[in-house]
Amino acid sequence: MKNRVALITGGARGIGRATALHLAEDGWDVAICYRTSEREAQETVEAIKKKGSSGLGVQADVSDPEAALGLVREVEKTWGRIDALINCVGPYHRAPLLEETLEGWHAMFNNNLHPVFYLTRLVAPGMIERKWGRIITFSMANADRLIAQPQLTAHHIAKTGILILTRTLARVLAQHGITVNAISPGFIDSGSAPAEELKAMEKKIPAGYIGTVDDAVAAVAFLLSEEARYVNGANIHLSGGWGI
């Protein structure tokens, strides 16, 4: 896997950052994109370089297709290729369905689902040409159950859409040596949720504990590996048994 190039959206913090540092240790060159976390992004890039790999931080709002295009062009200008696309960006907010605003509704699709399409269509041609590629998306542990989500409706629909898009892309790209798989976390201590909220959920998780970013990184590393070359269109539940 040495000398391969990964692009990680939302790579300045949490699972994205941990994945970037793991790949740097394995010899990957890593580009991360961020929207507002400039300081964290700079720190992550420096940490990547300290591990002996090349790093690049790009400010880009990937909900904008033009910004997504600019991001991919900058990474390809720097290294000439993108071998793996890891879609870690995925903000959410809670709002009772009938109190949700139009802006909030659209934001969940613009920031979760649409960037996967924008970026995949841009990186796929190069992967097809090289006959190798890895694309990883992030859904959520109960998205495939199609259950009611009165407080997270738009976010939940977007994450369900990611699963459908992931499987469709896998079907389309498999013939070119490209795998497209999803990881569906439950409760992961990635720094995005209050500690008290995570603690309260422990008793509802069959495994009895909250997952860590290292658990997520392990799943990503497997899907990027040659050992996972025949895994395509899969959805890995990363939840300790919650949400299944």
pLDDT score of 103 more than 80: yes
- pLDDT classification of 53: cutoffs 50, 70, 90: very high
Count up the domains in the chain and report the number. 1
Can you give the pTM of this predicted structure? Answer: 0.96
Q: Which helix (H) or strand (E) holds 236?
A: strand 235-238
pLDDT score of 118 more than 90: yes
Token code pair at residue 120 = 């995949």
Please state, rounded to an integer, the average pLDDT across all residues of the chain.
Answer: 96
Output the 3-class SS for 104-141. HHHHHHHHHHHHHHHHHHHHHHHHHHHCCEEEEEECCC
For residues 180 and 164, give the distance between their C-alpha atoms in angstroms, rounded to a whole number.
11
Residue 244 domain-assigned?
no
Residue 243 domain-assigned?
no
Token code pair at residue 205 = 């998780």
Name the phi and psi angles at 136, rounded to 5.
-125, 130
- pLDDT classification of 199: cutoffs 50, 70, 90: confident
The CA-based dihedral angle spanning residues 120, 124, 126, 130, taken in that order and rounded to the nearest 10 degrees: 130
- pLDDT classification of 196: cutoffs 50, 70, 90: confident
What average pLDDT score do residues 135-145 get?
Answer: 97
- pLDDT classification of 197: cutoffs 50, 70, 90: confident
Which residue range is the domain that position 126 belongs to? 5-238
pLDDT score of 212 more than 70: yes
Residue 78 domain-assigned?
yes
- pLDDT classification of 2: cutoffs 50, 70, 90: low
What average pLDDT score do residues 217-235 get?
Answer: 98
Geometric angle at alpha carbon 241, from 133 and 205, rounded to 5°: 130
Report the percentage of the chain scoring pLDDT > 70: 99
Q: Which CATH number belongs to the domain containing residue 114 in this structure?
A: 3.40.50.720
Where do runs of H (alpha helix) occur along the chain?
14-25, 38-50, 65-79, 102-108, 114-130, 153-173, 195-201, 213-224
